Structure 1
Amino acid sequence: MKFRVSSRQLDVALKAVAALVVVALLYLAYTAWDYQRRTQTTTIAARAVDTLAEAVRREPRNPDARILLGQALAGQGRLNEAIEQFQAALKLDEDNPVALEGLGMIALKQQQWATAEGYFRRIVDKLSGGQIAGADERLERAYYYLGVTLIKRKQYEDAAGYLKEALRIRRDASDTHYALSVAYRELGILDKSRQELETALAFDPLLPEANYDLGRLLVKDGDLAGAAEAFRRAIDGAPGQPEPLKELEKLGPFSERLAKAEALLATDKKAALEQARIAAALDPKNVDAARIKARLLQELGSAKDAADAWEKVLQLAPEDPEAVAALEALSKKK
């Protein structure tokens, strides 16, 4: 299972600054239709590149102008052109952290791990001795991406060291805690790996990669219901990733889990709840599984968990009278 540094997430990271450039330069007139909105955004992004390219032509020795153009080009996927602009900026302003970060992100996207490591190390060398190093977001990102790059290069001990440096600057970075859990896992330090995994999920309960790893741990623990729900969160958070779906399907089939839940209702409600939770994770659109789970949680679980389960029933069956009544009853207990 891939973690943060995937092609999809790097695309988002590369486009983030480019999007800011677009907003700063041009008025974005949204329309009601999604297709029109996407078309217009693409056109405006192209105009932003043209505007920034003109700024570079006017001031070819302005490194900031070249960096902005490089960011905009990277956001459009024009990576070779972006590299040219970032490298030109470095000739004008040696070790500029923003230009180095742009080149490092592109190297990560292209899976050029050694090249990426070099760029992020240069940022660390440049910024780590600064007066604001303890609160420098640029340095935090460099530590994080250097750690991730070293994981890709299987240098897990060094990776853990840099990830911990990133956490000294930003303690609530769920992605960094998750990456550190991977480094510890590969080093065989399983108690710390799990601790970092749980911390990552405390900051971001929906983090797909962390939920996938948690699901695998819960299977080993024998908590199949918790594992099924973790795999479902991973699937919903990262559509198209095959690993969590394969693991979840191993806990099926759905029909057997639902049948067991129904059969156990009269004799063992805790066991019935476990089966219902697995069934609801296997088929989150099945109202029968969702209803049994909600009923049992209302009787055996916390009020919050029960309310969330009944809300799910309402999503599947709007204005369902049993769900409405249950939520009203739960609200009175608060």
Structure 2
Amino acid sequence: RNGVGESKPGDFSLRIEYRGEQIASLPVRIQITPQDWLRYARSSGNQKVQIEYLRRAIAMNPQDANVRRMLASLYFQAGMTREAIAQYQEILTLRPDDAAVLAELAKCYLKSGQNEEVIRTSARILRANPQDDDALVDMALAWGNLGNWNKAISSYQAALKVRPDNPVAIFRLGEAYEKTKQWEKAAEQYRLVLEKVPKADHVAVALADVFLKIGNFDEAIRWHREVVKRQPKNATAYANLGLAYGGKGQHREEIENYRKAIALNPRDPVIHFNLGAAYEKGKQEQEAVREYQNVLALKPNDPDALERLADLHFKAGRFREAAPLYEKVLKTSTRKGTIHSRLGFAYAELKKPALSVENYEKARRYGAKDPEINRALALAYTKMGKTKESLVMYEKLAATNPTAEVLNILADAYMKEKLYDKAVRIYRKLIELNPKKAAYYSSTAYAYGLNGDLDRQIEYYQKSLKFDYEDDEVYMNLGAAYEKKGLFQEAMKAYTTAYELNPDSTKAARKIPQMKIRIIQQKQKQ
């Protein structure tokens, strides 16, 4: 090139030498045709080189649809979908009704996620040939990608009317049935595929999974066993076998298969979690704790594992371990009321009343309805010295759950706060609950006495003695009430009875002679 006699760039010449000296130069013009570039492309094993040669061929002959199709196919294989689409579109300007090009273009649109274009292009194919089952399958895939599973099913069914033995369409129809929760129909499609292609392992997996989803555990076990026979290192199949055995209540087999799955895939947190749940179900607490810890080692903020592990510590009374786990659970949990109530209890047990109150209050704000929360909150308020808040909680408890225990607590609280009228009202409610319990009458009497109502105090001590006539303490209190009222004769009688019931009572022994003196003094005044 650029030899002697060259007239312009691009010309070539043949130089003739004799004994090392040039004796002549013959001008030569070389012209490379599109067919040359096509031949070079076909002879190369390098995809990038092939693409470059075909591009040069097209640059020299833009109307060559066949070369454009070759280039589009290479682009598609190289993952250059946008460039492939551009070439197919150019071809269609030359040959608008080329069904093969339209089919390849639809595949490009599918790969690039342009589902509306897939549907439009497939419809164009079907207008020319309604029996094109490949176009129907592509259209069905696009409808499925768009979430319109009913139209996807219709397109798959239409494809199978054209070619009933199309295993791809049968399998995809099964998948579409799964998406619409038509499990039995899905299973039937998968069975049909396996009849035609017995070695289709992925279809056996799909069939096994369908049976697991519908709770047909016997069939799920049968097909998952078939899967592990074909694929002995399929950890997911062993894990699903564990689920199926768990569904049947076969605890030992459930754990055995989870452990096989973990041996094959030790870094799958889901399998560790399911094994933990199986251990928990079987009351194997230590093993369950270990597996939930394994989950958190692989996935530190897994909310389910955090809560399960926290619950195990909580039930075992390990509140120091449970509390920080529940705090982490709160960040993502939708069950904040429940979690806060457990934290409230845990902090109460850890002697942290302020944190206990804080969490119980939050539990109530998040809608927790357990009456025990109010009781625990009231107790926590009491420990913090918040008497007013404590009383409010006890009152709410009594209004919503007026058990004897709750009413007793509320009455005691009123007595401590010297709210004797309110205490009397609660004691009388207790009497309504159990009219034959002497202690309720004596407590009512005591409250009346502190409130200065001696007549009612005496009345209720007398009622108490009707149900427990051997209570020396009540006789002593009755005697004191009589004494305050100036009824010394009745007081001496009550003290005497108390002494007879309890001869060790020094107070009763001392009161008897005192009353005798008071009686004499009273008579002298008269």
| TM-score (norm. length: structure 2) | 0.37
Query: Partner of 2:225: helix, strand, or coil?
Result: helix
Q: Are 1:180 and 1:196, in contact at CA under 8 Å, matched by a contact in 2? A: yes
How much does 1:169 deviate? 2.9
2:262 corresponds to 1:164: no
2:23 aligned residue = none
| TM-score (norm. length: structure 1) | 0.55
The 5-angstrom pairing of residues 282-293 of structure 1 reads: none
Q: Are 1:218 and 1:227, in contact at CA under 8 Å, matched by a contact in 2? A: no
The counterpart of 1:84, out of the listed 146, 166, 188, is 188
How much does 1:83 deviate? 1.9
**1:191/1:168 Cα in 2 relative to 1: closer, same or farther (>3 Å)?**
same
5+ unaligned residues in a row in structure 2: which ranges?
A: 1-108, 117-142, 367-526
Query: Partner of 2:184: helix, strand, or coil?
Result: helix
2:114 corresponds to 1:27: yes
2:285 corresponds to 1:190: yes
How much does 1:109 deviate? 2.3
**1:172/1:282 Cα in 2 relative to 1: closer, same or farther (>3 Å)?**
farther
Query: Partner of 1:251: helix, strand, or coil?
Result: helix
The counterpart of 1:73, out of the listed 177, 185, 198, is 177
Farther off after superposition, 51-60 or 140-149: 51-60
The 5-angstrom pairing of residues 229-308 of structure 1 reads: 229=327, 232=330, 235-236=333-334, 247-248=338-339, 250-251=341-342
**1:249/1:115 Cα in 2 relative to 1: closer, same or farther (>3 Å)?**
farther
Q: Are 1:228 and 1:278, in contact at CA under 8 Å, matched by a contact in 2? A: no
Q: Are 2:344 and 2:360, in contact at CA under 8 Å, matched by a contact in 1? A: no
The counterpart of 2:211, out of the listed 86, 90, 107, is 107
Provide the aligned length of Structure 1 versus Structure 2. 227
Q: Are 2:144 and 2:152, in contact at CA under 8 Å, matched by a contact in 1? A: no
**1:205/1:106 Cα in 2 relative to 1: closer, same or farther (>3 Å)?**
same
How much does 1:92 deviate? 1.0
How much does 1:75 deviate? 1.3
The counterpart of 1:176, out of the listed 271, 275, 297, is 271
2:202 corresponds to 1:98: yes
CA distance in 2, matches of 1:104, 1:56: 24
Which residue type is aligned with residue 171 of structure 2? I
**1:225/1:173 Cα in 2 relative to 1: closer, same or farther (>3 Å)?**
same
| Structure having greater relative contact order (Cα 8 Å, sep ≥ 6) | 1
How much does 1:147 deviate? 0.9
CA distance in 2, matches of 1:186, 1:276: 33
Q: Deviations over 1:292-327 (max 9, x none)?
A: xxxxxxxxxxxxxxxxxxxxxxxxxxxxxxxxxxxx
CA distance in 2, matches of 1:187, 1:203: 24
How much does 1:175 deviate? 1.0
CA distance in 2, matches of 1:203, 1:222: 24
CA distance in 2, matches of 1:155, 1:98: 27
5+ unaligned residues in a row in structure 1: which ranges?
A: 1-21, 30-38, 134-138, 237-243, 261-267, 285-334
**1:57/1:168 Cα in 2 relative to 1: closer, same or farther (>3 Å)?**
farther
Q: Deviations over 1:173-212 (max 9, x none)?
A: 1110011112333444432221111111232344444233
Query: Partner of 2:342: helix, strand, or coil?
Result: coil
Q: Are 1:70 and 1:81, in contact at CA under 8 Å, matched by a contact in 2? A: yes
Query: Partner of 1:111: helix, strand, or coil?
Result: coil
CA distance in 1, matches of 2:306, 2:215: 24
The 5-angstrom pairing of residues 302-317 of structure 1 reads: none
CA distance in 2, matches of 1:168, 1:76: 35
CA distance in 2, matches of 1:281, 1:23: 51
Over the aligned positions, Cα root-mean-square deviation in angstroms equals 3.9
Identity, % of aligned positions: 19
Q: Are 2:343 and 2:359, in contact at CA under 8 Å, matched by a contact in 1? A: no
1:64 aligned residue = 168
How much does 1:118 deviate? 1.4
CA distance in 2, matches of 1:101, 1:90: 11
Q: Are 2:341 and 2:363, in contact at CA under 8 Å, matched by a contact in 1? A: no
Q: Are 1:160 and 1:180, in contact at CA under 8 Å, matched by a contact in 2? A: yes
**1:186/1:44 Cα in 2 relative to 1: closer, same or farther (>3 Å)?**
closer
CA distance in 2, matches of 1:45, 1:93: 25
CA distance in 1, matches of 2:261, 2:190: 24
CA distance in 1, matches of 2:360, 2:224: 43
Which residue type is aligned with residue 290 of structure 2? Q
Q: Are 1:25 and 1:48, in contact at CA under 8 Å, matched by a contact in 2? A: no
**1:233/1:181 Cα in 2 relative to 1: closer, same or farther (>3 Å)?**
farther
**1:161/1:152 Cα in 2 relative to 1: closer, same or farther (>3 Å)?**
same
1:222 aligned residue = 319
Q: Deviations over 1:88-140 (max 9, x none)?
A: 11211226332222222222222222221112111111211xxxx3xxxxx22
Please identify the structure whose Cα radius of gyration is greater.
2
Q: Are 1:229 and 1:278, in contact at CA under 8 Å, matched by a contact in 2? A: no
CA distance in 1, matches of 2:160, 2:270: 35
